Structure 1
Amino acid sequence: MALFAGFSGLSLLRGASGLPPGQRKKLVVLAAVVLGGGIWSMHFVAMLGLQLPVLFFYDGLATLISALVAILMVGLALLLLHFGRRTRPRMALAGAVLGGGIAAMHYIGMLGMELCGPVFGPAGVVVALLAAVGLSNLAIWTAYGTRTRGHILLGTLCFAVAVVSMHFIAMAGTEFSREAVASSAGPALSNALLAMLVTLSSFVISGVALLSGVSFFTPAEAQETGVRAVPPMPAIPAPDSPAPAAAARAPSGAQASSLPVPFERDGKIHFAESSAIAAIRAEGHYTVIYTGKQKHLSPWSITEACARLEPYRFIRVHRSYLINPAHVSHFQRTKDTGVCFFKGIETLAKAPVSRSRLADVKSALGV
């Protein structure tokens, strides 16, 4: 369950940073519910396997609070990651919040036990919390250090290990005492009723994981089947990059010097002239285009952008980057790879050049 929830939440957010704030918030909410629900489901799947020599049940209110706390704290961690620049302190804080959410969910859920109360040892609490925070940070840095499929899958594994490890470390440091009377604040949840709720949540999370996997593992080229090429439309220039007049002066029958590239903003499709675009970066099944002081999300995949823009002197420098050599200020060789730096592009200072593309880049730049 931890693996399914981690994969669903992390893959849902792939490419979210390039979306408009409204769409990004919706994805963060959905991912928080899936990840927080996954933490809750994993905990109670394990608790259904707990055998004690006395009868016990759960306080419904405490059980609900434990789920909501997990969702809220995971949501806060995701907001830190997807709204604002991902600096080292910010990512570390997100990892700490995520780890704290896992621990809070566990101990609040345990406090909901009735007729057999948990007794927590201080050492067990400290070790469990350190494990949750440390492994959550590992998951964040792995999944968000580089947003590739492989890193997201490794981040999923780290998240699952964080949830499972924290639970069983905490259980190893927990003892139980018999209570004469129950002190429930909400309705009583027996193991049978809890099993039905956990089954339902597990089904939902598994379904979301299945739907996420369809787009996550399908190559971008396969998803583009049926997309037809359309003739260039009159460009609506990006606000920070006025359309050049060269295209308007192109003679009839000649290839235009610039191609309108679509991007989404405020729920509408706008166009930026390719001559004003410095670089294009892959972001999931979409791309981010960089023009002057702004960046925009384009519905084109990096494969489609490469195919359409290569005739306009764009070159593929990395599996995730396409650049316009006209905007490169200088080039730096680093062992077997390289780096292209841009002038006047505030949102993107540089783009990596892979070893396999190094010769093409040097040829295009004349170095």
Structure 2
Amino acid sequence: MELLDYSHNNGLVLASLFVALIAGFTGLSLTKGLSERSVPHRKILVALASLALGGGIWSMHFVAMLGLQMPILFYYDAAITLASALVAILVVGIALLILHFWKRTRATLVLSGVIVGLGVLAMHYIGMAGLELCRALYTPTGVTLAILSSCALNIAAFSIAYGQRTDRNIILGTVVFGVAVFTVHFIALWGTNFIPVETATEVGPLIGNDVMAIGVVLSSFVLCGAFLLTGITFLTPQTTAPAPTADPEPIVPEQPALTPRATQIPYEQDGHTRFVDTADVALIRAEGHYTHLYTAGEKLFCVWSITEAEKRLIPGAFIKTHRSYLVNPAFVSSFERLKDNGVCYFRIASVEKAPVSRSRLPIVREALGI
């Protein structure tokens, strides 16, 4: 049995790492703050993130395969190659559904990492099965090492990115995810040998490296476009009123508590600091390092952080329904219990509703007398 010698094009190797990194950032950024969005919106963003992460895994693999240099011509079976892409997208989608529709615990983080880790390998080996005029031979050591490294690295990536949804963790998770996909590919190749095959056993039409290069360039172009769009959103400071997120509060310098507690809240308007009575404020919502105050007819900008507002206000005047919301019970018109959280609705036009996180449900229900 003649084993083929092979080498790699270093430029394409580096390009494959770049593709994995931009795919990881795009997918992990798209899913930031989903818990406060509607279920249909959440499903759409999970689907888009699945396309970004799964398509990125596939693109990284075939960018690296374009750099695989062997002494014979070889082709790809189009049907099997397409199947490998669909498997990657489907598996990542399952992991993201678990993370965003189940209670997020250490166990679900590990489960999602294992699912994606096995999915990366499934995509790799299905893609390798699509090779024509040469066949891949695997060693037990190589397969075992690929499985262990893929699961471990992807568990680490998802634990970092989803353990605490801060910008820093998303970037660190992106790096670990990109390195995971890249490393697993070459660990699997390290445990692989190739032999020439005289006849093709094609399931679908054969495609050569030239056609494959066009497909990979197109998929990478789409990923780069999505990367730029998510990157702009990710880096833009939230100075207006973006959709609320379930991300942890930003760390702000500690402020000394006032004694006695405040019965008025300061807000900025027309270059002046003005004050509004707490009894006139229906809702306080976090906006980065600051907050917005909602009264019966206005939305006001306040320099307090949500943490500072909670410290300064009279106990009982507001209830914390969510890490980003303080609610005045006097303005609540109705309460809706959802599957694992809830929603407070208001009787004023300036604000429609406020989310109630699962951990705050008993406190909110007690404060509302229900």
TM tier relative to shorter chain: 0.5 to 0.7
Relative to structure 1, is the Cα distance of residues 18 and 224 closer, same or farther in structure 2, using a 3 angstrom cutoff?
closer
Contact kept? 2:290, 2:305, Cα under 8 Å: no
Code of the residue aligned with 1:68 in structure 2: it is L
Corresponding residue for residue 155 of structure 2: 137
TM-score by length of 2: 0.67
Corresponding residue for residue 228 of structure 2: 210
Matched residue SS, 2:113: helix
Distance in 1 (CA, whole Å) between partners of 2:29 and 2:54 is 15
TM-score by length of 1: 0.68
Distance in 1 (CA, whole Å) between partners of 2:311 and 2:134 is 58
Contact kept? 2:291, 2:306, Cα under 8 Å: no
Distance in 1 (CA, whole Å) between partners of 2:200 and 2:312 is 64
Distance in 2 (CA, whole Å) between partners of 1:121 and 1:57 is 23
User: How many aligned residue pairs are there?
Assistant: 274
- Cα deviation for residue 324 of structure 1 reads 8.0
Matched residue SS, 1:326: coil
Identity of aligned residues (%): 45
Unaligned segments of structure 1, at least 5 residues: 226-252, 262-273, 275-279, 283-300, 330-344, 351-367
Contact kept? 1:315, 1:323, Cα under 8 Å: no
Code of the residue aligned with 2:67 in structure 1: it is G
Matched residue SS, 1:147: coil
Distance in 1 (CA, whole Å) between partners of 2:241 and 2:51 is 30
- Cα deviation for residue 316 of structure 1 reads 3.1
- Cα deviation for residue 217 of structure 1 reads 0.5
Matched residue SS, 2:68: coil
Tell whether 2:316 aligns with 1:326: yes
Tell whether 2:305 aligns with 1:305: no
Contact kept? 1:32, 1:78, Cα under 8 Å: yes
Q: 1:52 aligns with which of 70, 88, 106?
A: 70
Relative to structure 1, is the Cα distance of residues 187 and 156 closer, same or farther in structure 2, using a 3 angstrom cutoff?
same
Distance in 1 (CA, whole Å) between partners of 2:192 and 2:293 is 60
Q: Structure 1, residues 207-254: CA drift from partner, whole Å, max 9, x if none?
A: 000000111011112x559xxxxxxxxxxxxxxxxxxxxxxxxxxx98
Matched residue SS, 2:198: coil
Tell whether 2:279 aligns with 1:257: yes
Code of the residue aligned with 2:145 in structure 1: it is V
Q: Structure 1, residues 55-106: CA drift from partner, whole Å, max 9, x if none?
A: 1100001100000000000000000100021011111100100111111110
Tell whether 2:306 aligns with 1:316: yes
Contact kept? 1:316, 1:322, Cα under 8 Å: no
Matched residue SS, 1:177: strand
Unaligned segments of structure 2, at least 5 residues: 1-18, 243-274, 320-355, 362-370
Corresponding residue for residue 146 of structure 1: 164
Corresponding residue for residue 30 of structure 2: 12
Code of the residue aligned with 1:72 in structure 2: it is L
Corresponding residue for residue 359 of structure 2: 348
Corresponding residue for residue 231 of structure 1: none
Q: CA RMSD in A?
A: 3.4
Corresponding residue for residue 66 of structure 1: 84
Contact kept? 1:58, 1:114, Cα under 8 Å: yes
Distance in 2 (CA, whole Å) between partners of 1:141 and 1:210 is 25
Code of the residue aligned with 1:257 in structure 2: it is A
Contact kept? 1:66, 1:106, Cα under 8 Å: yes
- Cα deviation for residue 260 of structure 1 reads 3.7
Contact kept? 1:5, 1:205, Cα under 8 Å: yes
